[in-house]
């Protein structure tokens, strides 16, 4: 692969020209003839039974063309098959302030809003459940989801033991326990969610600012009871997701139903306030961790507990619980590992996947915990961490298979560049170091199906080549990656590849732009399709060299007619032989290391970030400009979570404290330091040209590195996020800020899992054949 | 008012926001609305050459003034404006939703300070939010655009 011509080039994004002139069409920019506007009526109560809904006054308002209540959309949906617990409009009870109960379509937005407010809903208010501790107790009135089999307001409960824990503890020379809390926060995409529905001739079309057209397609089909071939979902230009537009949402179903009812196109754009209620953001997580190390500082055993505050519905939560426990073993080599995790329902907007999905919280906990452990035994923390780094081509104790792994190189790059080892030690100035790993796409689909995770089709005729790909470019530049791969194989420029993406009618299946999966999975599919097309083109020109591309295309079409090829990607079976092994496996893991340098003012508590050094094992950078863009964006988003961002609620009322951009603080230009990025290219054996992910992994080490830098500067421990000035001052007074106890959880008996051999690299059928009959 | 150099009638309803008027009546949808209350800067347009938040102005306040939106920045359709070109080249955008507002804020900045210092850049664009880029490439784009002048 020494002579790559297009892959590896730092080319600007495919859609950047349209975006700098304001020509990109986002969902809210779409206007169709006779289009109506829709507004949702949302619950003002965190927890209440709906006694009656009277929409008669709304229906009488001139300009109102359609009104929906819960009776019109009774079928439940949810992103995971195990959590079909949402309704587009609730008819029985509401579970958070902002839960939708009715919807209106009218000739303009103002009329729709007035009509929604004219709908009378009679509620019986119930006692809200607003914290993890409350959710674990028997509720005063009733449970949030009465049909669940688990006690109190528990949503999920997991317990696993991998390897010989007893032997691990016995071997430990030192054991330490710590408690941590990671506060919830939200994605805050610049674009509000928006969708347009159109119903023509018995066929439904929905344009949406979604990250996954396929999942919206599935939810619409289920709730509207329409076959999938009667529904088309198209991804509009995307104004930012970060995981927040990965679930199907009420407004997407409502515009579809209202279009069917009224026979006119219907648009619904959420207000900024509503975006905070749609949420699906970072779970608040309480964590307890206990680790044993031997005399050399090598980990002998680890026990990790997490409790996730899930909000009102399941969303991705069943997976989120696993993610708080599963990736510890691919960063550090842990020979014996116990994981207990639970998720509870609370009367708050549902949490879900935000950049890093369930892994920034344990990453934060583990990096601080190991630093404390090193301090306690008088060992250099970087040295202790390095002695435990995961090694390439190793199978972890929980069966996760690590292939390429550039952890050592990443660490060395940032340690050297930052001068961490020789940093000046004085009060108020500090540096922190941390590492991370992340998946290049989930190895298992979120719902059972045997289809490829991604397919790419190429069409070629005398006009050139077009790539059809289901992945949605959410800004990260996935379109450019697909174009560069196709161009590389066909020997043309990336700009010569036309793209049709994220349209369920014209593009084949792709499981969406989340889980850092597009480069790896759609990239591999594009590579296969392009190699097949290259072979056809070579045959068309009888292997003559130097035939111009369009001439070759015409020769090919003359010979065989218009050509099409397809490529697909299905990750190999990687997970071990146990229930729950589907969450965590990935065909490849990216690795990152970061050093954060801060000034922390003991007088004011203000922490100022001077610089961040970050190295990322990308496998291979198909487009280094876009990769570094993802890294810089991740660092920025991490600093927001580390320093200021929090989604919190008023006690009793369950009201969001700051559902606006003014009050929900996020970093501005002034708050964002210089970021120096290093790419480490380990060339993964299974990634396209060796590529791995870039969108999520680089966020992970920055949050703990920031807290460790504050510790380095002031000697205090802030064992929770975000590090606000108030907490810094409190920590200076008390020595530590953080949770004091982990509540009692009725943990089940653990599932005992026999670990694999460390060098067992088998996957797929070969691995399955080796499983015992169970 | 004149919008992108063309005389344009005021909306009938005097309560209409300038941002809504541009987006809904004139279909100039390059002006985006992110926060709806003057915090994010997505809706920035130029009023007589100065950056303003169109979501904080009534359309009638622009009577007898020149409004420039992202669609009217480049002098013709043959080429991008140097600031647009700089954002494109420097990869100063990802989702692009904040981009029109940033480009116009930078226009105001460079008109005032053709060769801005770091502090002037900070002052000029710290009122605009971006969630994708980490701002690093936006800073580069400002430098690139200043050099291209």
List, for residues A191-249, the tens digit of each pLDDT value.
999 999 999 999 999 999 999 999 999 999 999 999 999 999 999 999 999 999 999 99
**A448, two tokens:** 């059972």
How high is the pLDDT of residue A59? 98
Strand, helix or coil at A708? helix
Q: Which of A544-548, A555-559, A683-687, A737-741 has the lowest mean pLDDT?
A: A544-548
DSSP A76-118: -B-SSTT---B-SS-SSEE-STT-EEEEEEESSHHHHHHHHHH
Which CATH superfamily hosts domain B2-72? Answer: Beta-grasp domain (3.10.20.30)
Question: Distance, in angstroms, between B63 CA and closest chain A CA?
Answer: 24
- Asked if B95 lies within 8 A of A475 by C-beta distance, the reply is yes
Sign, Cα dihedral of A575, A581, A582, A588: negative
Cross-chain residue pair A629–B94, CB shorter than 8 Å: yes
Check for a shared fold between A34-126+190-240+245-278 and A451-569.
Answer: no
> Measured between alpha carbons, how far is A589 from B51 in angstroms, rounded to an integer?
45
Taking alpha carbons only, the member of A617, A433, A484, A354 closest to residue A4 is A484
Q: Answer for the pair A267, A26: CB distance below 8 angstroms, yes or no.
A: no
| Stretch A723-728: mean pLDDT | 98
> Percent of chain A at pLDDT above 90?
97
Q: What is the pLDDT of residue A145?
A: 97
Q: Are A490 and A548 in contact (CB under 8 A)?
A: no
Q: What does each C-alpha distance from B71 to A35, A73, B110, B118 come to in angstroms?
A: 24, 41, 19, 28
Q: ∠A181-A192-A363 over CA atoms, to 5°?
A: 25
Task: Tell which of A19, A239, A477 to mutate to test the B interface (max B CBs under 10 Å).
Answer: A19
Q: Where are the beta strands (DSSP E) in A449-506?
A: 454-461, 464-469, 497-501
**Is residue B108 within 8 angstroms of chain A, CB to CB?**
no
Question: How does residue A147 score in pLDDT terms, banded at 50, 70 and 90?
Answer: confident
Segment holding A311, helix H or strand E? none
Query: Nearest Cβ partner of A272 from B31, B36, B130?
Result: B36
What residues contact residue A541 under an 8 Å CB cut-off, 6+ apart? A547, A552, A555
| Fold of the CATH domain A451-569 | Aldehyde Oxidoreductase; domain 4 (3.30.365)
Q: Which residue of A lies nearest to B23 if distances are taken between CA atoms?
A: A29
Residue B94 in contact with partner chain A when CB distance is under 8 A? yes
Q: What is the CATH number of domain B82-148?
A: 1.10.150.120
What are the residue boundaries of the structural domains of chain A, listed by start?
34-126+190-240+245-278, 285-444+578-737, 451-569
The token pair at A321 is 């619980």
pLDDT tens digits, B35-63? 999 999 999 999 999 999 999 999 999 99
Cross-chain CB nearest to A20 (options B32, B42, B84) = B84
pLDDT digits (tens, 9 = 90+) for A336-385: 999 999 999 999 999 999 999 999 999 999 999 999 999 999 999 999 99
Place of tokens 């408690």: A179
CB nearest B125 (choices: A189, A238, A669)? A669
Cα–Cα distance between A105 and A111 in angstroms, integer?
A: 9
The residue length of chain B stands at 149
What residue ranges do the domains of chain B occupy?
Answer: 2-72, 82-148
Contacts of B35 in chain A (CB under 8 A): 272, 660-662
What's residue A2's pLDDT? 61
The average confidence (pLDDT) of chain A is 97
Q: Please say if the pLDDT value at position A774 is more than 50.
A: no
Query: How far is residue A344's CA from residue A318's CA, in Å, rounded to a whole number?
Result: 10
Supply the ipTM of this predicted assembly: 0.98
Burial group, residue A701, by CB count within 10 angstroms (0-12, 13-18, 19+): buried
Residue A1 is predicted with a pLDDT of 59
- pLDDT under 50 in chain B at which residues? none
Q: Which residue of B has its CA nearest to A240?
A: B95
Kindly give the residue spans of alpha helices, DSSP state H, lying in A350-406. Answer: 360-377, 381-387
Structure confidence at residue A33 as a pLDDT band (50, 70, 90): very high
**pLDDT higher than 90, residue A658:** yes
Burial of A378 (0-12, 13-18, 19+ CB in 10 A): exposed
Mark yes or no for CB contact A191/B32 under 8 Å.
yes
**Inter-chain CB proximity A661 and B129 less than 8 Å:** yes
Identify whether B148 is preceded by a cis peptide bond (ω within 30 of 0): no
Please report the DSSP string for B36-98 in residue order: SSSSS-TTEEEETTEEEEGGGSBGGGGTTSEEE-GGGTSSSTTS--HHHHHHHHTT--SS-SS
> What residue has token string 């299946």?
A509
Q: What is the model's pLDDT at position A772?
A: 65
What is the C-alpha separation between A165 and A153, in angstroms, rounded?
30
Residue to substitute from A11, A12, A22, A628, interface B, most B β-carbons within 10 A: A22
Give me the pLDDT at residue A524, please: 98
Q: Which of A463, A466, A456, A457 lies closest to A498, judged by CA? A: A466
Residue with tokens 């880029």: B133
Beta strand pairing status for B6-7 and B2-3? Answer: antiparallel
In CATH terms, the fold of domain A34-126+190-240+245-278 is: Aldehyde Oxidoreductase; domain 3 (3.90.1170)
Please identify which residue in the block is written with the tokens 């390439």.
Answer: A392
- Test B95 with A189 for CB contact under 8 angstroms: yes
Question: Which residue of A21, A475, A634 is in closest CB contact with B70?
Answer: A21
Q: Which residue's entry shows tokens 């710290």?
A: B126
Backbone angles phi, psi at A228, to 5 degrees: -65, -25
Q: Do B99 and A242 touch (CB under 8 A)?
A: no
Residue A241 confidence (pLDDT): 97
Return the closest-CA partner of residue A247 out of A113, A77, A132: A77
How far CA A243 is from CA of A50, A316, A514, B40, in Å, comes to: 31, 10, 6, 20
Is B31 close to A22, i.e. CB distance below 8 A?
yes
How many Å apart are CA A193 and CA A771, to the nearest integer? 45
* pLDDT per position as a tens digit, A624-652: 999 999 999 999 999 999 999 999 999 88
Contact A239 B125 (CB under 8 A): no
Cα distance between residue B142 and residue A669, in whole Å: 13
Q: Any bridge partners for residue A270, and if so which?
A: none
Check CB contact under 8 Å for A190 and B129: yes
Domain A285-444+578-737 in CATH 3.30.365.10? The answer is: yes
Residues in B 12-71 with any Cβ partner in A closer than 8 A: 23, 27-32, 34-37, 39-40, 42, 69-71
A452-462 pLDDT tens trace: 999 999 999 99
Provide the percentage of residues in chain A whose pLDDT is more than 70. Answer: 99
The partner residues of B113 in beta bridges, in order of sequence, read: none
Shortest alpha-carbon distance between residue B9 and chain A (Å) = 21
What are the pLDDT digits (tens) for A521-561?
999 999 999 999 999 999 999 988 899 999 999 999 999 99
Which pairs from A144-149 meet CB under 8 Å and 24+ separation? Answer: A144/A47, A144/A95, A144/A312, A144/A345, A144/A346, A144/A347, A145/A85, A145/A95, A145/A345
**Whats the size of chain A, residue-wise?**
774
């Amino acid at each position: 692969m020494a002579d790559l011509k297009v892959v590896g080039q730092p080319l600007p994004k495919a859609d950047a020209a349209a975006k700098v002139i304001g020509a990109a069409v986002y969902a809210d920019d779409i206007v169709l003839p006779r289009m109506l506007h829709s507004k949702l009526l949302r619950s003002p109560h965190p927890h209440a039974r709906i006694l009656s809904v009277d929409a008669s006054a709304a229906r009488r308002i001139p300009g109102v063309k359609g009104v929906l209540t819960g009776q019109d959309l009774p079928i439940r949906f949810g992103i995971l098959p195990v959590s079909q617990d949402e309704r587009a409009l609730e008819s029985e009870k509401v579970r958070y302030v902002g839960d939708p109960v009715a919807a209106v379509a009218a000739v303009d937005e103002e009329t729709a809003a007035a009509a929604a407010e004219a709908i009378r809903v009679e509620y019986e208010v119930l006692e809200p459940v607003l914290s993890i501790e409350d959710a674990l107790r028997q509720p005063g009135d009733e449970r949030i989801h009465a049909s669940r089999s688990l006690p109190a307001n528990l949503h999920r409960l997991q317990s696993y033991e991998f390897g010989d824990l007893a032997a691990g503890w016995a071997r430990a020379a030192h054991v330490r326990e710590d408690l941590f809390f990671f506060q919830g926060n939200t994605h805050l995409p610049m674009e509000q969610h928006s969708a347009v529905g159109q119903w023509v001739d018995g066929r439904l079309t929905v344009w949406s600012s979604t990250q996954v057209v396929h999942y919206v397609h599935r939810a619409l089909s289920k709730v509207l009871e329409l076959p999938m071939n009667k529904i088309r979902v198209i991804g509009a230009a995307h104004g930012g997701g970060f995981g927040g537009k990965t679930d199907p949402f009420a407004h997407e179903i409502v515009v579809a139903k209202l279009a069917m009812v009224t026979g006119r196109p219907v648009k619904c754009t959420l207000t900024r306030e509503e975006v905070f209620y749609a949420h699906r953001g970072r779970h608040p997580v309480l964590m307890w961790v206990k680790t044993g190390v031997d005399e050399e500082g090598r980990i002998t055993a680890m026990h990790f507990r997490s409790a996730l505050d899930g909000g009102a519905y399941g969303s991705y939560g069943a997976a989120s619980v696993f993610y708080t426990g599963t990736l510890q073993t691919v960063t550090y080599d842990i020979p014996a590992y116990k994981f207990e995790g639970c998720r509870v329902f609370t009367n708050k907007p549902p949490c879900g996947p935000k950049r890093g999905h369930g892994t920034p919280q344990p990453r934060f906990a583990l990096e601080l915990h190991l630093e404390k452990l090193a301090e306690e035994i008088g060992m250099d923390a970087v040295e202790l961490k390095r002695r435990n780094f995961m090694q390439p081509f190793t199978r972890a104790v929980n069966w996760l298979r690590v292939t390429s792994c550039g952890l050592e190189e990443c660490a060395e790059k940032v340690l050297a560049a930052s001068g961490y080892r020789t940093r000046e030690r004085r009060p108020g100035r500090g540096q922190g170091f941390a590492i991370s790993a992340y998946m290049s796409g989930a190895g298992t689909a979120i719902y059972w199906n045997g289809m490829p995770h991604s397919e790419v089709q190429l069409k070629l005729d005398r006009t050139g080549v077009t790539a059809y790909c289901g992945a949605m470019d959410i800004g990260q530049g996935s379109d450019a990656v697909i174009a560069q791969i196709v161009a590389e194989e066909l020997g043309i420029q990336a700009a010569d590849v036309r793209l049709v993406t994220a349209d369920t009618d014209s593009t084949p299946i792709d499981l969406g732009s989340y889980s850092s999966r597009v480069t790896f999975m759609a990239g591999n599919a594009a590579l296969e399709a392009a190699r097949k097309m290259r072979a056809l083109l070579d045959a068309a020109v009888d292997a003559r060299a130097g035939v111009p591309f369009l001439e070759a295309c015409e020769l090919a079409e003359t010979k065989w007619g218009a050509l099409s090829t397809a490529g697909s990607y299905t990750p190999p079976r990687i997970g071990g032989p146990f229930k729950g092994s589907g969450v965590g496996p990935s065909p490849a893991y990216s690795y990152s290391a970061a050093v954060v340098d801060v000034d922390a003012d003991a007088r004011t508590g203000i922490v100022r970030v001077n610089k961040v050094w970050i190295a990322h094992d990308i496998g291979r950078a198909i487009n280094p400009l876009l990769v570094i863009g993802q890294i810089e964006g991740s660092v920025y988003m991490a600093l927001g979570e580390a320093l200021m961002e929090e989604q919190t609620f008023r006690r009793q009322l369950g009201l969001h404290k700051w559902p606006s951009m003014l009050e929900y603080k996020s970093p501005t230009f002034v708050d964002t330091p210089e970021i120096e990025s290093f790419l480490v290219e380990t060339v993964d054996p299974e990634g396209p040209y060796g590529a791995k992910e870039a969108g999520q992994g680089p966020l992970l080490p920055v949050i703990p590195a920031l807290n460790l830098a504050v510790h380095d500067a002031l000697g205090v421990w802030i064992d929770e996020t975000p590090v606000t000035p108030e907490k810094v001052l409190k920590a200076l007074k008390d020595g530590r800020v953080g949770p004091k106890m982990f509540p009692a959880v009725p943990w089940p008996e653990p599932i005992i899992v026999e670990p694999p051999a460390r060098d067992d690299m088998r996957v797929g059928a070969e691995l399955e054949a080796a499983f015992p009959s169970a | 008012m004149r919008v992108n150099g063309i005389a344009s009638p005021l909306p009938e309803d005097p309560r209409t926001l300038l941002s809504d008027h541009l987006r809904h009546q004139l279909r100039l949808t390059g002006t985006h609305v992110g926060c709806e209350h003057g915090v994010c800067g997505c809706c920035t347009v130029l009023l007589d050459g100065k950056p303003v938040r169109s979501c904080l102005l009534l359309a009638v306040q622009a009577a007898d003034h020149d409004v420039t939106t992202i669609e009217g920045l480049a002098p013709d359709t043959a080429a991008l404006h140097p600031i647009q070109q700089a954002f494109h080249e420097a990869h100063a955008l990802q989702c692009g939703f904040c981009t029109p507002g940033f480009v116009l804020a930078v226009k105001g900045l460079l008109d005032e300070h053709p060769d801005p210092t770091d502090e002037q850049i900070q002052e000029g664009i710290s009122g605009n939010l971006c969630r994708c880029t980490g701002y690093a490439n936006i800073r580069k784009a400002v430098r690139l655009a200043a050099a291209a002048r």
